[in-house]
A and B are shown apart, each in its own frame.
Chain A
């Protein structure tokens, strides 16, 4: 029995080691450059492998005094070489969006960021990997900061005088600093509203409050059930992604087809940011007039929480199975003992 259990533990350890590397980063494979000036994250921390946001953005939580580096690929999809310069620019979250500030405006985070090169010429069809290093000072205060690692291409006016056009592409950086583990990521769906836009499309808008300590990128999916004649509809995806800073309130909107019956409908909304999700249900009836809105409806929430996907989910399932097996084995002899 001990041998069997040892084999089980060995399998679990191997599974854990393969699914969730203890250290390091994962890397993205090379692909053909897309038209124009392109950017993609080439690697991310292995402990964030399951977080879809970490595949597109630099998202990390580090202790003060930590230095991390990430490789970013910048590509030239044009038919001639282009000159690029690299730098970090401050970013802010407002109006439900992550936006880079104008010019080369910096902030505390950008002062910690260096690039392996400041400028280079990229051949047609080529991608250059650039290593971005973030050295967090040991006296850095706790909190999340935002910036972007950018490549800039400048095109002078054709006549030599006039307006210069500049294109910049970059990777968002969400860096949380503080001791211990990562701060919690939580949000709440506070209410939902049925309205009709100026084109006559029914729209469901949910008010979402970021109750956690880190920014969230919210996407949503709406299902409608129990409609007129027992109709069901969906899933419908939210219009855009709302980015909310900690403490901020924003909206997730789902636009529907004009032919959709007014209702009433049971509306079930799932809002997701990375590995965190929340669900809300309410009953909605769409107003008839264009540009009008129904009253906000309170919602029943639940069913959300951390999403356990891929390696983390797998490992959790395996550990649960192991614990159950151990408990079963320990209970077994007592159950068969004579009374």
Chain B
């Protein structure tokens, strides 16, 4: 007899807890197709990447030249989600008329990084990853200065080369 009363009560209590857990805001009105109706709404921020205004970049053989300061803000996370992100960088061949500096002769690395706000942990990135971070708090911001080093064996002609340096955060 007791169980008959307890079970429905437990179900009702659990249902209330579930609603609270999910942060249900009622049926959402997002504009997705009928095949995928939106039924739950969860507040979350964004992951962003910004770079300071880029000055003209002058590469010097064997020297790590600072690139524009890069900032990553992770507003997606809470402690349960880990908030992990990685930044990668790649560079194209640099070309000046007939002269070319191969991309393989330019090494991009990160230096002097740190958290501007929030906390987190910095992993040991593999070769093609600049920074690997797990941010522990909401709206954590991490800034670092990428550097580009031209291999000394290149001996390029002096001049203005054109190319692209790309940073990607996912």
Residues of A within 8 A of B (CB): 1, 4, 7-8, 11-12, 14-15, 18-19, 21, 23-29, 31, 33-43, 46, 49, 52-53, 55-56, 69, 71, 73, 75, 77-78, 89, 91, 94-100, 102-103, 148, 150, 154-155, 157-159, 161-172, 217, 219, 237-243, 253, 255, 310-311, 314, 317-318, 321-322, 325, 328-329
Contacts and interface: CB of A to CB of B under 8 A. Distances in A.
A56 B170 CA distance: 10
B86 to A, nearest CB: 5
A78 B76 CA distance: 19
User: 6 tightest CB-CB pairs across the interface, nearest first?
Assistant: A36-B50, A240-B123, A95-B126, A26-B40, A102-B90, A38-B48
B162 to A, nearest CB: 6
A178 to B, nearest CB: 21
B99 interface: no
Contacts of A42: 30
A78 B44 contact: no
Interface in B107-133: 121-129, 132-133
Q: In which size bucket is the chain B interface? A: 35 or more
Given A97-B129, A165-B51, A240-B133, 6 more contacts: A34-B48, A36-B50, A52-B80, A95-B127, A99-B86, A311-B18
A267 B8 CA distance: 42
Interface of B: 3-4, 7-8, 10-12, 14-15, 17-19, 21-22, 24-25, 28, 30, 32-33, 35-51, 53-57, 67-68, 71, 73, 75-77, 80-84, 86, 88, 90, 92, 94, 121-129, 132-134, 136, 139, 160-170
A311 B22 contact: yes
Given A166-B164, A170-B170, A171-B170, A25 B38 contact: yes
Contact of B17 (A69, A77, A314): A314
Given A15-B11, A27-B30, A98 B86 contact: yes
Contact of A43 (B10, B19, B32, B50): B32
Contacts of B37: 21, 23-25
B51 A36 contact: yes
A239 B134 contact: yes
Given A15-B15, A171-B170, A163 B50 contact: no
A107 B72 CA distance: 27
Contact of A241 (B44, B45, B123): B123
B159 to A, nearest CB: 10
B56 A157 contact: yes
A89 B53 CA distance: 26
